[in-house]
Amino acid sequence: MPDLSVGGLSKRFGGIVALEDVAFDVREGEIVGLIGPNGAGKTTVFNCISRFYDPDAGDIRFGGRDVLSLQPHRVLAAGIGRTFQHAELFKNMTVLDNLLVGLHNRTRLLQLASLVVSPTVWIEERRLRRSATEMINFLGLEKYQGMHAGGLPFGLQKRVDVARALVSGPSLVLLDEPASGLSHEEMNDLSDLIRKIRSDLKVTILLVEHHMSLVMGVSDRVVVLDFGRKIAEGTPDVVQNNPAVIEAYLGTGTSDADA
């Protein structure tokens, strides 16, 4: 049983075909790379899964549940976390407070009840702070937790974005270009971190990334889009040798061609 199932997904913006009949599965415990040249439709897929876009046709199911029936704010509560290409953090808030915002769907208190100081509210606040601190430690952000997120280097902001996506305890996380703007050394650390997220947190991962070496190094399977259509799917070795993929963009001779 796939954790995530995308079937016949199509989306148009006016006369532009962003997606046409895209279908793929992500099985529980997998790391799946979603790649393709710029404009291939990768972020549109993410935006449909996150319910930022309504597809024109198709079906998205997660754990057997109809994702398209959910309101956008219910997607996280359903167990799907997401990062963004440009870390969408509250830059004037601390790292810790950014993670506490990511825990809003896990609070056991009604909003009005939280306005009243009581032992119940105090206990709940301690529980949330403990969860946020544990994730900060997992991501190696201990010494930055009291700093404003906007003052951190871009690579650390990306890591905070990952932490916020994971702190609510999703079973699936959508990583949108997590290596964007990272140095070579930071990218190696990210590869290890992605594997650790899967192994230690038991989180399934769907990854959109420009850096081919990263995608091919961490993915169990790779799905390739081009002009909104799926042109290949398989293990990294199979995909890299697929003539349609080579024609689309791997024939540049560079190991980090844009995805």
Domains of the chain, residue spans: 2-79+170-252, 91-153
Do residues 238 and 29 lie in contact, with contact meaning Cβ atoms separated by under 8 Å?
no
At residue 1, the pLDDT reads 56
At residue 101, the pLDDT reads 85
Do residues 41 and 22 lie in contact, with contact meaning Cβ atoms separated by under 8 Å?
yes
At residue 256, the pLDDT reads 42
Q: Among residues 136, 111, 141, which one has the least CA distance to residue 124?
A: 111
At residue 186, the pLDDT reads 83
Q: Among residues 19, 30, 69, which one has the least CA distance to residue 204?
A: 30
Topology, domain 2-79+170-252 = Rossmann fold (3.40.50)
At residue 122, the pLDDT reads 61
The series of mean pLDDT values per 10 residues for the chain, 259 residues long, is 89 95 97 94 96 96 94 90 86 92 63 52 77 94 94 90 92 93 84 95 95 94 96 95 85 43
